[in-house]
C-alpha cells in the first residue's frame, strides 16, 4: 500500500468511466440513427438484397382460323445458355462447346443476345432453339462444360410455316424505339412483341400479362425459395375470319408467282382468305435472324414482307369497267341497250385510242361490252361522263380510299380527278386535265391505282345491294379475363353506292356474261365441277406503266386481274386475284379465282383441276 499515497485511483477511474460512457453513447446514437431514423430505408435495402424479381412470361394467345383450327401456337424450345459465374473459365467452356458442335466459337459469342448486359448469375444465351441432335451432344458432354445450362423457353410456332404469313405476322424482340413509346409501357428489354400482321395489331391482347415471381436468393444468387407469386395471365385467343382450306388454295394458286388473292364474304366483309406471294416463314424470326436475311425480306426485289393485298398498288385495268358501267348508267349517259360501234380504235384529238381487239368488236351494248371488255365502248362512256364524275363514282365504290383493314399501313390507291391534278402537280402545265387522260382512266389505266382489297370491297358493294363494308380479319377474341368486346368485330358499313338496284342488276348481268357468255373473257373462272353454281366477274389486264430498266422483260408483262363472285344470283363469296406480270387476266388470274371458289363450294381439289381450253379472246 506504500504507493497508494501518491496515486489517486478513484480519480483515474472516473476519467476512464467518462471516456467509456462517451464512446458507448456515441455508438448508441449511431444505432438510433441506423435502426430507428433510417430503419425503413435499410429494411427496404435488405428486402431488395434477398428478393429477386423473376418475370414469368405469359403464354401468348393462340390464333385460330374461323373453324377453330390452330394457326399459331406456342411450343417449348431448347436454348443453350452459359452462367459465367459457374464456369471457372468461360472462354474455355465456350471453345469446348464450339468444338463439340463443330462450330466456330465466334458464332456463339457474337449473337446480340449474348452481348446484352446482364445481372450476376443471369445466364447468357449461346444457342437458341437447338435441335434434338445438338441437345443430345451437349447433354452427353455436360461434365466438360461447366456453367453451361439447358433452358426451355416458350417459342411462337407458326404451325404451317409461311401459311398466311402476311396476315399472322411475326413476333420479335422489342426494339429500343418501341421501348420508349408509351404504347409499350410496362414492357421490358428482351420481351417478344408482335412486329407485323395480326401479331402486331393485336399485340395488347395476345401478349397477356407476365407473372411476377419474387424469389428469395442468398448472397451467391442461389434461389432459396419463393416469396410471392403473381401469376401470369395468358394472352387472349384470337379467332380470325380466315378459312384455312380456302387460304391454302389461294396460296397454292399463287405458287411461284408474285401476286395477291383475297376472298370476302360480300354480306359481312369478313375476309375468308388473304394471300400475298412471295411469302416468308414467320418462324425464322424465332431464332436470331441474320441481317442479310432481314434485308432480303424487307428490301429484296420480291419485297416478301409486302402484303400485296393491301400494300400493293396496281392499275385495275378492265376491272374498272364495272365502276364505269355503273357510273354511265346511273348518270344516264348510256342506256343498257344503246349500241356503240367499236372499229378497234377511237379517234380522239390527234391520235387513235386502241381497243385491245384490233379488229374491233363491232356494235356492242353494255352487256356485250362488259363480257368482251370492249375498250372503245368505255372510252365513249368515259368521254360522256368526264373525269370528275368517274372520280365521284369510283370513290363511292371505295377506290382511292383506304379500306381501314387496320393490319398494316395500307396503300390508299388513287383515282385521279381535275382537283387532284391541280393539287398534286406544281408545274402549271401539268395542273391541267387533258381529255385524253380521261380515256386512259376509263379503262382503269393512267394514274389509277387500286389495291386488290379495294377491288374486293367494291365488288362486294356491287353484289350486296350497294353497301360498302369494311373488310375485317378478326372474328372474335376469347379474352382470358372477363369478356372482351370490340365493335370492330362485326360488319361495319363505310358508305353506300346510292345507285338504283336495277342498274346494279344490269351490270351484274354483264359480269355473268364475262364468265358464261361464249364470247366472254372470263371462262376460266367457271367452276368446272359445279356447273350449277354460276360464277360472275370481270377480267383485267393492267399495263405496267413503270419502266423498269434494270429488270428483265417479264417485269414489263401486264398484271393479270380477275374479280369475281358466286353464286351469281345470291353471292356468298367475292374473290379477287392479281398476278403481277401474269399477262392476261382471263388466263392467269381467273383460274386462281375459280379454284378458290371451287374450294368454297366444296369441290375437293384432289379431283383435279380440269384445264379448260382457252378459246375466247382475252382482253
Partner 1 sequence: MDFLDRRMWSQFDWYLLALAFLIPICGLVVLYSAGYDPDASDFLLKWLPGEIKSIPFEKQLFFLGVGVLVVAAALSIPTAWLQRLAYPVYGLCFILLIAVLIPKIGIVSNGSRRWIPLGIFNLQPAEFMKTALILTLARYLSRNLPRPGGYGFRQMLVPSLLFALPMYLVARQPDLGSALSLGAIGFSMLLFVGIRVRALVIMALTLVLAAYPAWHHLHPYQQRRVLVLFDPDADPKGSGYHITQSKIAVGSGQILGKGFLNGTQTQLEFLPEHTTDFIFSVLAEEWGFIGCVSVIFLYALFLVRILRVVARSKDVFTALVAFGVCAWFFFHTFINIGMVVGLLPVVGIPLPLFSYGGSALLSCLFGVGLVLGVAMRRLSYARG
Q: Catalytic residue numbers? A: 318
Nearer to partner 1, 46 or 548 (CB): 46
CB of residue 234 vs partner 1: minimum separation in angstroms?
A: 33
Nearer to partner 1, 30 or 432 (CB): 30
Beta bridge partners of 449: 414
CB of residue 188 vs partner 1: minimum separation in angstroms?
A: 24
Nearer to partner 1, 10 or 550 (CB): 10
DSSP assignment of 562-584, as one string?
A: EEEEESSSS--EEEEEEETT---
Residue 201 burial class via C-beta count within 10 angstroms: exposed 0-12, middle 13-18, buried 19 and up: buried
CB of residue 213 vs partner 1: minimum separation in angstroms?
A: 17
Parallel, antiparallel, or unpaired: how do β-strands 63-64 and 237-240 relate? parallel
HSE on the CB side for 590, CA within 13 Å? 31
CB of residue 32 vs partner 1: minimum separation in angstroms?
A: 7
Nearer to partner 1, 6 or 291 (CB): 6
8-state DSSP, 528: T
Q: How many residues does the chain have?
A: 619
Q: What are phi and psi of 452, to 5 degrees?
A: -55, -35
The span from the CA of 608 to the CA of 591, in Å, is: 13
Nearer to partner 1, 40 or 409 (CB): 40
For residue 568, what are the contacts with CB-CB under 8 A and spacing of at least 6?
Answer: 508, 511, 512, 534, 535, 536
Q: What are phi and psi of 194, to 5 degrees?
A: -65, 130
DSSP assignment of 357-394, as one string?
A: STT--EEE-HHHHHHHT-HHHHHHHHHHH-HHHHHHHH
Nine-digit cell string for 297: 425480306
Nearer to partner 1, 9 or 547 (CB): 9
CB of residue 81 vs partner 1: minimum separation in angstroms?
A: 23
CB of residue 86 vs partner 1: minimum separation in angstroms?
A: 17
CB of residue 48 vs partner 1: minimum separation in angstroms?
A: 9
Parallel, antiparallel, or unpaired: how do β-strands 211-217 and 51-56 relate? antiparallel
The span from the CA of 194 to the CA of 21, in Å, is: 68
Q: In which residue are the cell numbers 441506423 written?
A: 34
Nearer to partner 1, 24 or 614 (CB): 24
- Using the Cα atoms of residue 5, residue 11, residue 13 and residue 16 in order, give the sign of their dihedral: negative
Contact 264, 573 (CB under 8 A): yes
Element (H, E) at 246: helix 244-253
For residue 352, what are the contacts with CB-CB under 8 A and spacing of at least 6?
Answer: 345, 346
CB of residue 35 vs partner 1: minimum separation in angstroms?
A: 4
CB of residue 88 vs partner 1: minimum separation in angstroms?
A: 20
Nearer to partner 1, 17 or 56 (CB): 17
CB of residue 281 vs partner 1: minimum separation in angstroms?
A: 45
Helices (DSSP H) in 72-201: which residue ranges?
Answer: 90-101, 105-109, 112-115, 132-140, 165-168, 176-180, 197-201
For residue 36, what are the contacts with CB-CB under 8 A and spacing of at least 6?
Answer: none
Contact 544, 559 (CB under 8 A): yes
CB of residue 288 vs partner 1: minimum separation in angstroms?
A: 31
Q: What are phi and psi of 265, to 5 degrees?
A: -90, 110
Treating both helix axes as pointing N-terminal to C-terminal, what angle do 452-463 and 501-516 enclose, rounded to 10 degrees?
Answer: 120
**Would you tell me which residues interact with partner 1 (CB under 8 A)?**
1, 3-4, 6-7, 9-10, 12-13, 16-17, 20-21, 23-24, 26-28, 30-32, 34-36, 38-43, 45-47, 49-50, 216-220, 224
Nearer to partner 1, 21 or 289 (CB): 21
The span from the CA of 34 to the CA of 201, in Å, is: 52
Give the residue from 556, 560, 559, 618 showing the smallest Cα distance to 589.
560
The span from the CA of 399 to the CA of 412, in Å, is: 8
The total of other beta-carbon atoms located within 10 Å of residue 313's CB is 17
Nearer to partner 1, 136 or 224 (CB): 224
Nearer to partner 1, 220 or 606 (CB): 220
Contact 148, 97 (CB under 8 A): yes
Nearer to partner 1, 4 or 485 (CB): 4
Amino acid at each position: 500500500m506504500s504507493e497508494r499515497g501518491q496515486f489517486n485511483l478513484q480519480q483515474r477511474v472516473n476519467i476512464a468511466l467518462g471516456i467509456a460512457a462517451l464512446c458507448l453513447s456515441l455508438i448508441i446514437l449511431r444505432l438510433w440513427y441506423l435502426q430507428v431514423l433510417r430503419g425503413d430505408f435499410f429494411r427496404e435495402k435488405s428486402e431488395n438484397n434477398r428478393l429477386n424479381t423473376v418475370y414469368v412470361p405469359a403464354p401468348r394467345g393462340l390464333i385460330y382460323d374461323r373453324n377453330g383450327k390452330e394457326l399459331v401456337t406456342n411450343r417449348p424450345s431448347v436454348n443453350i445458355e452459359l452462367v459465367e459465374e459457374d464456369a471457372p473459365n468461360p472462354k474455355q467452356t465456350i471453345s469446348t462447346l464450339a468444338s463439340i458442335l463443330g462450330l466456330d466459337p465466334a458464332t456463339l459469342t457474337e449473337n446480340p443476345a449474348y452481348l446484352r448486359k446482364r445481372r450476376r448469375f443471369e445466364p447468357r444465351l449461346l444457342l437458341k432453339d437447338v435441335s434434338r441432335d445438338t441437345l443430345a451432344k451437349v447433354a452427353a458432354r455436360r461434365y466438360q462444360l461447366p456453367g453451361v445450362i439447358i433452358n426451355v423457353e416458350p417459342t411462337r410456332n407458326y404451325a404451317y410455316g409461311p401459311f398466311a404469313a402476311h396476315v399472322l405476322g411475326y413476333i420479335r424482340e422489342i426494339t429500343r424505339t418501341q421501348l420508349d413509346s408509351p404504347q409499350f409501357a410496362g414492357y421490358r428489354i428482351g420481351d417478344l412483341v408482335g412486329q407485323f400482321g395480326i401479331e402486331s395489331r393485336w399485340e395488347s391482347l395476345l401478349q397477356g400479362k407476365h407473372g411476377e415471381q419474387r424469389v428469395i436468393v442468398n448472397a451467391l444468387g442461389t434461389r432459396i425459395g419463393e416469396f410471392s407469386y403473381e401469376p401470369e395471365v395468358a394472352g387472349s385467343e384470337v379467332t380470325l375470319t380466315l378459312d384455312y382450306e380456302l387460304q391454302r388454295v389461294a396460296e397454292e394458286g399463287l405458287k411461284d408467282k408474285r401476286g395477291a388473292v383475297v376472298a370476302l364474304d360480300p354480306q359481312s366483309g369478313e375476309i375468308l382468305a388473304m394471300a400475298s406471294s412471295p411469302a416468308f416463314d414467320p418462324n425464322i424470326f424465332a431464332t436470331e435472324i441474320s441481317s442479310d436475311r432481314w434485308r432480303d425480306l424487307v428490301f429484296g426485289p420480291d419485297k416478301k414482307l409486302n402484303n400485296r393485298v393491301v400494300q400493293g398498288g396496281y392499275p385495275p385495268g378492265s376491272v374498272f369497267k364495272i365502276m364505269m358501267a355503273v357510273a354511265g348508267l346511273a348518270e344516264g349517259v348510256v342506256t343498257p341497250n344503246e349500241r356503240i360501234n367499236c372499229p378497234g380504235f377511237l379517234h380522239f384529238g390527234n391520235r387513235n385510242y386502241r381497243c385491245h381487239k384490233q379488229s374491233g368488236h363491232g356494235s356492242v351494248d353494255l352487256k356485250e361490252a362488259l363480257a368482251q371488255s370492249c375498250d372503245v365502248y368505255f372510252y365513249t362512256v368515259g368521254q360522256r361522263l368526264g373525269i370528275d364524275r368517274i372520280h365521284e363514282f369510283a370513290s363511292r365504290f371505295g377506290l382511292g380510299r383506304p379500306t381501314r383493314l387496320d393490319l398494316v399501313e395500307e396503300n390508299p390507291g388513287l383515282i385521279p380527278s381535275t382537283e387532284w391534278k391541280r393539287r398534286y402537280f406544281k408545274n402549271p402545265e401539268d395542273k391541267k386535265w387533258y381529255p385524253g387522260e380521261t380515256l386512259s382512266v376509263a379503262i382503269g389505266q393512267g394514274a389509277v391505282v387500286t389495291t386488290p382489297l379495294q377491288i374486293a370491297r367494291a365488288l362486294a358493294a356491287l353484289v350486296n345491294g350497294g353497301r360498302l363494308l369494311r373488310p375485317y380479319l378478326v372474328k372474335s377474341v376469347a379474352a382470358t379475363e372477363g369478356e372482351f368486346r370490340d365493335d370492330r368485330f362485326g360488319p361495319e358499313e363505310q358508305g353506300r353506292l346510292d345507285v338504283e338496284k336495277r342498274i346494279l342488276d344490269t351490270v351484274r348481268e354483264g359480269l355473268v356474261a364475262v364468265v358464261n357468255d361464249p364470247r366472254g373473257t372470263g371462262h376460266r373462272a367457271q367452276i368446272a365441277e359445279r356447273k350449277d353454281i354460276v360464277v360472275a366477274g370481270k377480267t383485267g389486264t393492267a399495263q405496267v406503266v413503270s419502266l423498269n430498266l434494270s429488270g428483265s422483260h417479264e417485269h414489263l408483262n401486264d398484271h393479270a386481274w380477275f374479280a369475281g363472285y358466286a353464286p351469281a344470283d345470291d353471292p356468298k363469296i367475292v374473290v379477287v386475284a392479281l398476278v403481277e406480270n401474269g399477262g392476261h387476266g382471263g388466263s392467269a388470274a381467273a383460274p386462281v379465282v375459280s379454284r378458290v371458289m371451287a374450294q368454297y363450294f366444296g369441290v375437293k381439289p384432289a379431283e383435279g383441276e380440269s384445264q379448260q381450253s382457252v378459246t375466247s379472246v382475252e382482253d
